[in-house]
Structure 1
Amino acid sequence: MSKVIAVTGAARGIGLATARALRDKGATVVIGDIDEAAVTEAGRGLGVDAFALDVTSRESFAAFLGRVERLDVLINNAGVMPIGPVTEESEADARRCLDINVHGVMTGTKLALERMLPRGRGHVINIASLAGVLPTPGLALYNASKAAVLAFTEATRLEVRERGVHVSAVLPTFTNTELVAGTRSPKGQKNCEPEDIAAAIVELVGRPRPQVVVPRRLGPQTRLGTLLPDGVKRAIARKYGLDTLFLDYDHAARKVYDARIRS
């Protein structure tokens, strides 16, 4: 793979695993993250260029992409996931969640398109979530942000698809990163690992498609689920514990993550 690929939110989790997988495939990878110390360490470990990046700042994002020569692929991965009752989520949490998860993706996509459209080639990959199509109690802010990412990604894809540039969304299920700290897995379901999502992204870079669900088997189930009556959806949520998953959780186990995303 000879592509030049930039990955945001790559100091840890899915972003770091994706950067590693793409590097191993021969891509030239550049990573960014708001945690400058962590991304610098990650870049050193991977042997790739790493820079501080605040996706909520157009100036910071433009400077980051300005360091990437001949950008082929941008992976908008940076995101945060506040959880808990919607009435207890602060205005600051709501604004920060939307600023990072939605506006950050929008800004990155637009800046990348400015570079790609004149050349008539390129690929923007936005990391969304199955949470964007499966509203869940205790996850209202995150649900809203990822639904917005999905709508934005698809509309942008339709707008530029005849101009040689691909725009795709990736929808992971529960994945073992800091985002799910203190929560439990749905009954009978094993969480994905960051490497599972990274493998799907590597495949998507090689064969662009509009949307990828990880794991793939959940794609048909998710589409079918949206057609079910509300009573059936509620019964399924109770069966798998989805109705309490993000309301009844270990606050102490999330303390470090919550403090970091609010700092």
Structure 2
Amino acid sequence: MADPTGKVVAITGAARGIGLATATAFQAAGAKVVIGDIDEPAAKRAGETMNGPALPVDVTDRESFTAFLDGAEAELGPIDVLVNNAGIMPIGPLLEEDDALADRCIDINVRGVILGTKLGLARMVPRGHGHIVNIASVAGVMPAAGMATYNASKHAVVGFTEAVRLEFARQGIEVSAVLPTFTNTELIAGTKSARGQRNAEPEEVAAAVIGLVTKPRPQVVVPAKLGRQLRIGPLMSRGMRERMARWYGLDEIFLKHDKEARKAYDERMRG
């Protein structure tokens, strides 16, 4: 068991959504938190709200990410927990997805997590302790039509996290993945919930991250009951899984979204 009190926590993509909820939860638990985000004005606003440090970070750029971690440690001391949360979620028909957006999704969601994990480990391993938490998604294990590139990116995060966990388990380092269901943030703007399922709230995901740090585990699904369903899935035939996907609406809900409601997020996502 690890008490978050006094721990130094750095979080990427923390100016809003899951990242901000996680920063707020850690602060409430007694941790010292540094907010990082590529949107510097939004990061500063979040930092002012929390009365804590907020720094710019482009997770796809080694120099920028290193400067963020250096700045975090200069402000608060050695980092105990790094939460790789920054991510984007393009949706829609695959043949309408432009290559630049696909590249951006992989750069942020996959390469950003890989880079952050490397940079975090380089600081934690010599100290003999630390925890890397990578925010993946249920989409990493449950595909849906209309989000193939996002599915691929989160599938990569799940596999990467497990491999790194095995590699560093004997060096005092914890490495965990959080797999939230679709969560009520701007990432799902203009979409409907899967049939029979409710979206999670950012605070639920934040609580799961706190729980992982308090009691380290390799992986957690949010909500927990969905994790039980996901464990049953591989035991089913492909035909059964595809029928279930259709019943949930995963064959169409990300193809028939409200483009106007999603316009603001799409523009920001493209940088």
Distance across 1 between alignment mates of 2:252 and 2:47: 38
* Residue segments in structure 1 that go unaligned for 5+ positions in a row: none
TM-score by length of 1: 0.99
Distance across 1 between alignment mates of 2:262 and 2:238: 31
Structure 1 position 16 matched with structure 2 position 20: yes
* Residue segments in structure 2 that go unaligned for 5+ positions in a row: none
TM-score by length of 2: 0.96
Structure 1 position 45 matched with structure 2 position 43: no
Query: Which residue number corresponds to residue 100 of structure 2?
Result: 92
Deviation at 1:226, TM superposition (A): 2.4
Structure 1 position 246 matched with structure 2 position 254: yes
1:74 counterpart SS class = strand
Structure 1 position 101 matched with structure 2 position 101: no
Q: Which amino acid aligns with 1:3?
A: K
Question: Deviations for 1:169-222, whole angstroms, at most 9, x for unmatched residues?
Answer: 000001000000000001121111000000111111111110011111111210
Query: Which residue number corresponds to residue 230 of structure 2?
Result: 222
Query: Which residue number corresponds to residue 32 of structure 1?
Result: 36
Question: Deviations for 1:60-85, whole angstroms, at most 9, x for unmatched residues?
Answer: 00000001221100000000000011
**What is the aligned length?**
263
Distance across 1 between alignment mates of 2:234 and 2:70: 41
Mapping of 1:69-218 within 5 angstroms? 69-218=77-226
Question: Deviations for 1:79-107, whole angstroms, at most 9, x for unmatched residues?
Answer: 00000111111110111000000000000
Match of 1:237 among 245, 252, 259: 245
Deviation at 1:239, TM superposition (A): 1.5
1:117 counterpart SS class = helix
Question: Deviations for 1:219-262, whole angstroms, at most 9, x for unmatched residues?
Answer: 12102112322221221122121110100110001100000010
1:257 counterpart SS class = helix
Q: Which amino acid aligns with 2:10?
A: A
Q: Which moved more, 1:84-93 or 1:101-110?
A: 84-93
Distance across 2 between alignment mates of 1:53 and 1:255: 24
Deviation at 1:112, TM superposition (A): 0.5
Moved over 4 A (4+): none
2:250 counterpart SS class = coil
Q: Which amino acid aligns with 1:216?
A: A
Q: Which amino acid aligns with 1:89?
A: E
Structure 1 position 56 matched with structure 2 position 60: yes
Question: Deviations for 1:137-160, whole angstroms, at most 9, x for unmatched residues?
Answer: 001010000010111111111000
Query: Which residue number corresponds to residue 6 of structure 1?
Result: 10
Identity %: 61
Q: Which moved more, 1:136-145 or 1:227-236?
A: 227-236
Aligned-pair Cα RMSD in Å: 0.7
2:199 counterpart SS class = coil
